[in-house]
Amino acid sequence: MRPIAGYLLSTLAILTTALGCASSSEPRTWTPADYGSDYRATGMVRPKLISGEPLNDMAQRFPCYLPPDTAALVRIKCTLQVDGSLSTCRAKSILTNCEDPFANLVANLEKTYRYRPLLSDGQPKEVSFTYSLQFHGDGVGSVPLRRSNRPMPDRSPRTDVQNLKPGETLRQIAGSPPSFQQGGGICVPPKTTAVVSLSCIVGTDGGVSDCGSFPAVEPVGCDEAVANAITTIQETYRFRPIVRDGQPIAVYHKFDFQLLGEGVRPIQVTPGPE
């Protein structure tokens, strides 16, 4: 067996982080001038990673082992603070017998990652941040990923949709994962694995919408399967809405789905603390 290999699909609700140039790892106070031409007094400006090695490279220094022809999807949830640092990171799912490497990975993530924080209505805001990592053993390949090429409509900043705050969790009450079938079978080739990452809005009624309005991360060659999955999610998924001050609110939410080609077995992960 060899160390599992991983790749990073890092998003905060609709906010897909982009690797920036290296910078100081020290937290700082952010002002409107730091956002330059990205600044806006209303609406939202996405966080941007400015310091920290790619998470897949970091994971290789804290390796676990998977049997051949297997794969697993794990998640790490953090709080992105207004100074651009990460805190309260914890594994939402853990591979059996990999608790110590994961604890070290989480600690290193908090120590080294720094962001230009989320800007909402002209002010830096604290938000939840989730990283998803796909791992696989010998004999399993990774399907190349890309941003969705579906046409994205021009959108004005939404003032009626919020980001999940630290400690808030959406509870799903209806809907099953889409099949990602295409051409009579799963859309990824045999002995390969991939992750689809979709960003959507969960409304005040708990329904899902606008999945096709935001950038998605998807495997190459899965266009039809992802389009069908979006339809399934928006028609069948239901959640208990987030309630603040006694009123349900609409929030951004990210969905990650693991796709396993023929001949790949999933490895069970242990749920971590919420």
- Among left, alpha and beta (phi > 0; psi -120 to 50; other), residue 183 is left
Amino acid, res. 70: T
Residue 271 pairs with which residues in a beta bridge?
93
Q: What is the pLDDT of residue 9?
A: 35
The whole-angstrom separation of Cα 35 and Cα 52 is 19
CA-wise closest residue to 265 among 93, 138, 131, 97: 138
Terminal CA-CA length for the chain: 31
Q: What is the pLDDT of residue 215?
A: 65
Structure tokens at 235: 């028609």
Looking at residue 149, its pLDDT comes to 63
- 90 to 80, 104, 135: CA distances (angstroms): 13, 11, 18
Q: What is the dihedral of CA 199, 204, 208, 209, to 10 degrees?
A: -70
Pair of tokens at residue 76: 């790490």
Count CB-CB contacts under 10 A for residue 271: 10
- Looking at residue 220, its pLDDT comes to 85
Query: What would the two tokens of residue 250 be?
Result: 């609409």
* Environment class of 26 (CB within 10 Å of its CB; exposed 0-12, middle 13-18, buried 19+): exposed
**pLDDT for residue 150:** 63
- H or E element: which one contains 234? helix 223-236
Give residue 17's pLDDT.
33
The confidence score (pLDDT) of residue 14 equals 28
Q: How far apart are CA 216 and CA 46, in angstroms?
A: 15
pLDDT mean values, one per 10 residues, the chain (274 residues)? 37 31 57 82 80 82 86 88 91 78 88 90 84 85 77 61 84 93 89 89 95 77 90 96 95 90 87 60
Q: Check if the beta carbon of residue 215 is closer than 8 Å to that of residue 9.
A: no
Residue 5's φ and ψ, nearest 5 degrees, are: -105, 140
